[in-house]
Structure 1
Amino acid sequence: MDAVRVLFETQPLFTLLLTVALGYVVGEINIKGVSLGSGAVLFVGLAIGGFAPKAAPPALVGTLGLLLFLYGIGIQYGAQFFDGLTSTRGLKANAAAVLGVLGAGIVSLALVPMFGLKLDESLGIFAGAGTSTATLQAVIAAMKGDGAAVGYSVAYPFGVAGPILLLYVLGAALKAKIEAPAAKVIEMAEISLRNPALIGLRFSQLKVQLPAGLTIAAVRREHHNQLPEEDLVLRMDDVLLATSTDPARLREAAALLGELQPGRMSSHREDLDYVRVFASSRAVVGLALRDIRFPDGIASSIVQVRRGDADMLPSPELILEVGDRVGLLANRAHLKALRQLFGDSIKGTAELSFISIGIGAAAGLLAGMIPLPIPGVGKLTLGLAALLLIALCLGKIRRSGPFVWTMPLSANLVLRNFGLTIFLAQVGISSGPKFFATIATTGASFLLYSLLVVLALVLVTALVCLWIFRMPFDVAAGVICGATGNPAILAFANRVAPTEQPDIGYAMIFPSMTIAKILFVEIAMALARG
């Protein structure tokens, strides 16, 4: 065993990667639907750190990992975050989550005078109860000790399992029966124009009368398919190719226009053919559909955008992202040029701009150094919270001239999950010795304190969502996920409430609550120093 200890302590990079590997093995262990996921890396790191006290990698390694995690979160959820700040639903959701965070923070601070905890230990418990690694980093950077990591590591399991258990109990108590919605898929209908009131109208005039969520992708006239021009004058027996993700809209269109005539267009592709391409070129990524310019002499229509597992009806405001699969109608002779325009490279879905990442992350770090005066508290620096804010803004902007700030979803997930894993491994190894020393002296008391903070966070958030704002259960589940923060909780919520609402709630709440938790501990530490 001494030889293994020496190996760990003399080869910190080997120890770090071994911790990551063993952590994910442990994280996959599932007990009645509950698993720790990447959080298990922290506990393996604690065990290895306790066994080999001098094995910790440099702290800069962990800081870099957390930077990658926060930057990826901000870039992906920028649009949803700002929507949450402006919409009525988003404001209510953020208000509920803020009250939950404040409740947990007050309980954690009360542990200091009531039970004699150190401030960094109580704030570490607060960070662990909210499973917020960024909050932990803020406390560690300011307090210069191991107490925060110890409190975090004790509270983290409760921060993951507690909300999951509560969601299960709430779902059973409220008898919430939520069925998974059907996947959004673009459907088409060929409709022969027979309504005399519409004959002679220009196509631009017809569009304003169509049902919402429906578009006309092509027109067949005199045995030829063509793209609909704004000044096209409609004739009797024109066949219109209508598309929508809602079959009811297609039925409404058929009743308005005339009658269904399936097969008259799809079986004739000599004029227009359908092709699906990957969006991977800078010429289109980050642009709204209305701003995409096709090469001279090439006429084409975007009839479908598939992002992830869902179809999206094209609208002029829809912004293309790397990896989107775009459905086009065009003449076969133009397909090669269109593929060049869009890139059509599956490799591009895994590539990212290190120039954009470098500029964005550097700007965030610089903003985090700026001292901000807060009345009654003093001057505070946001640190990595500022980086998250900058990333959220860039995620909202998406593109500035030649700089594409967004990343392919696959690359984003890999980058931020790797960063989070490295951070947890480094913190766990470096905090292992102090963790075991603390548990040996405090026994089960830290476990009880952690449970109290987690209950305050989850119960206050759930109470405000369900009984004050009267949110539907699936919406409330998303808010609870965003307030608590751990992706494992979101995964469980998606099983309990299999709609898109938990994902939307998480996206709106998680970034702002990460910032709220960091600000809470920054203010608490500033007041303690004053």
Structure 2
Amino acid sequence: MEWLSTLLNGPGIAHDLILVSLVIAIGIQLGKIKIFGVSLGVTMVLFFGIFLSHFGYIMDPKILHFLKEFGLILFVYSVGLQVGPGFFSSFKKGGLTLNGIAVGIVCLGVLLTIGFKFLTGLNMSTMVGILSGAVTNTPGLGAAGQAFEDMHGTGDPTISLGYAVAYPLGVIGIILTMILLRVVFRINFKKEQERLDADAQNDSREVSAASFKITNPALFEKTVAEMHGLIEDCKFVISRYMDVAADKISTVHGDTTLHEGDRLFVIADPEALDVVRNFVGEEVKMDRKQWIPTESQLVSKFITVTNGKVNGKRIGALQLRQVYGVNVTRVSRNGVDMVAEPSLPILVGDRLLVVGSEAALPKVEEMIGNSEKELHAPNLMGIFLGIAIGVLFGSIPMMIPGIPQPVKLGLAGGPLVIAILLSRFGYRYKLVTYTTHSANLMLREIGISIFLACVGLGAGEGFVETIIGGGWRWIGYGFVITVVPLIIMGIIALKLLKVNYFTLMGLLAGSMTDPPALAFANTVAPNDAPAVGYATVYPLTMFMRVLTAQVLVLFFC
């Protein structure tokens, strides 16, 4: 059995692979254990790695360094792909207010970190580790470590130690803040739900449908193309047309002629529907089934875009109306419905609602794809090309006034920025960046697990000594950094900005990029508002956490 002892305790690639695999497997299993309803999840991989390395189980430093950085890149890049499509749209309308609150939480945490650095005399690298743990943000930890290593040529183990010490109370502090705000402000769940329902009815971002009778003489004997020209600033789609005299329903073409008293079935957002109503004539009450007559072969069907050749093409450029006689009335992307205006580009993974004859729809499917098998195939070229560009971009030195040496986004910031940009604009360069949710989640979890395992295995030596030697105070610093910004901005959100409490819970969890806190909010709320709030602020918060961690290290180290 000497070979087994050598394999488990000696040097070598096999030893390192077994060690990191066991840390991940056992750590993930330990992370499922709940204490008072709260579990640490994948973060237990870090603590189990610290535990094993404390007792002398270590990896080859070069292999550990490579795996740690590669795991971090996989994680942040997959996060960027996930949040990229909604990153820019999250600044619109109500999302601007929610993101403003989240930015306030981030900035207050940074200010407290700087304050503790001067009050306690701790190195900023240590304080950034405490900050990353307090706000439960692992990419920030990786970004800080990378920035420090780029500057000094060697790492600082106190960054990882600070993170590990502050993380547990970081998770608990977020949940305690949610409970505290609910008690102090005497939140009534029934009233909050009523407010949420009222807001949902007035939400102008949803796509709606309505039927109209043509009574405006300006439209009599005009074509549909001419109608669009008369109200060109209004985004709407005419799904179907009813010729009252002939008692016939058909799809609409640009040369379809409009007559007095005929009916139009229009798809648009509520604001655009008001414009159409004022221009076309009176709205009539017609059930949607009335727009599908029994003698007609007109049907509607969702078709998923899976053909990479049409990725990024505008709906008008596909000429579906002219070639197949069908209409695309709406596009569903990442759970959001959009009006299918001709200038809207479609992306792989979009779901198009197509209206036309039964004979035409199979031909449209052949053109668009609609192949689940093809959609689920991994798009590795796009992923690794994006990673390569991200690493290159993160390595570009940039001069910032006040910093003596060039600043780099590093192996964390570069891939994150490029993933966000490619997932949003990659179609313009014929690049397919779509990955299924399960594939993205797998990539993300593998990356973060490898990263945390390596961080733990590299930080275990001296962990206990650090806590005994005064590191226990770091727990208090981290707890203050966690709860104070949340309480201050939570009060502002509830009292001044009148943010719904259910949405606020998701916002607080998203501002800390903390899934366990979101899981708690979801169990408390009788709706999906926490998840919506979390998703709204998560992209910008993740970007700011990574960026501020690096900036603090570069300015103060």
CA distance in 2, matches of 1:514, 1:196: 51
Cross-structure match for 1:68: 74
**SS of match in other structure, 2:102:** helix
Given that residues 253 and 322 in structure 2 are in contact (C-alpha distance below 8 angstroms), is that contact kept between their aligned partners in structure 1?
no
For the pair 1:483 / 2:511, whether they are aligned, the reply is: yes
> 2:254 pairs with 230, 237, 243, which one?
230
TM-score under structure 1 length normalisation: 0.83
CA distance in 1, matches of 2:57, 2:212: 77
**SS of match in other structure, 1:372:** coil
Cross-structure match for 2:87: 81
Tell me which amino acid in the other structure corresponds to 1:489: A
**SS of match in other structure, 2:323:** coil
CA gap of 1:328–1:425, structure 2 versus 1, over 3 A, is same
CA distance in 1, matches of 2:283, 2:548: 59
Q: Deviations over 1:376-419 (max 9, x none)?
A: 22232221213322222223314123212343333323322322
TM-score under structure 2 length normalisation: 0.80
Residue 362 of structure 1: how far off its partner (Å): 1.8
Given that residues 23 and 41 in structure 1 are in contact (C-alpha distance below 8 angstroms), is that contact kept between their aligned partners in structure 2?
yes
Residue 149 of structure 1: how far off its partner (Å): 0.8
Q: Deviations over 1:160-180 (max 9, x none)?
A: 221122123323443153437
CA distance in 1, matches of 2:317, 2:493: 40
Tell me which amino acid in the other structure corresponds to 1:146: P
Given that residues 193 and 235 in structure 1 are in contact (C-alpha distance below 8 angstroms), is that contact kept between their aligned partners in structure 2?
no
Cross-structure match for 2:457: 429
For the pair 1:138 / 2:143, whether they are aligned, the reply is: yes
CA distance in 1, matches of 2:252, 2:93: 38
Given that residues 253 and 325 in structure 2 are in contact (C-alpha distance below 8 angstroms), is that contact kept between their aligned partners in structure 1?
no
Residue 127 of structure 1: how far off its partner (Å): 1.0
Given that residues 398 and 406 in structure 1 are in contact (C-alpha distance below 8 angstroms), is that contact kept between their aligned partners in structure 2?
no
Which segments of 5 or more consecutive residues in structure 2 lack a partner in the other structure? Answer: 150-154
**SS of match in other structure, 2:176:** helix
Given that residues 226 and 271 in structure 1 are in contact (C-alpha distance below 8 angstroms), is that contact kept between their aligned partners in structure 2?
no
CA gap of 1:286–1:490, structure 2 versus 1, over 3 A, is farther
Residue 519 of structure 1: how far off its partner (Å): 4.0
Paired-residue identity, % = 26
**SS of match in other structure, 2:466:** helix
Residue 54 of structure 1: how far off its partner (Å): 1.4
**SS of match in other structure, 2:462:** helix
- Number of aligned positions between the proteins: 525
CA distance in 2, matches of 1:45, 1:194: 71
Residue 298 of structure 1: how far off its partner (Å): 1.6
Cross-structure match for 1:171: 182
Cross-structure match for 1:45: 49
Residue 125 of structure 1: how far off its partner (Å): 0.6
CA gap of 1:402–1:194, structure 2 versus 1, over 3 A, is closer
| 1:154-193 equivalence runs, <5 A | 154-174=165-185, 175=187, 177=189, 178-179=192-193, 193=213
CA gap of 1:381–1:108, structure 2 versus 1, over 3 A, is same
Residue 154 of structure 1: how far off its partner (Å): 1.3
| 1:263-278 equivalence runs, <5 A | 263-268=289-294, 270-278=296-304
Given that residues 315 and 341 in structure 2 are in contact (C-alpha distance below 8 angstroms), is that contact kept between their aligned partners in structure 1?
yes
Q: Deviations over 1:277-296 (max 9, x none)?
A: 22111133334434434397
Residue 68 of structure 1: how far off its partner (Å): 1.8
Cross-structure match for 1:386: 414
CA gap of 1:27–1:375, structure 2 versus 1, over 3 A, is same
Q: Deviations over 1:310-354 (max 9, x none)?
A: 655534455434333333222223333212211111123323432
Tell me which amino acid in the other structure corresponds to 2:22: L
Tell me which amino acid in the other structure corresponds to 1:25: Q
CA distance in 1, matches of 2:287, 2:142: 63
CA distance in 2, matches of 1:213, 1:461: 37
CA gap of 1:425–1:516, structure 2 versus 1, over 3 A, is same
Tell me which amino acid in the other structure corresponds to 2:315: L
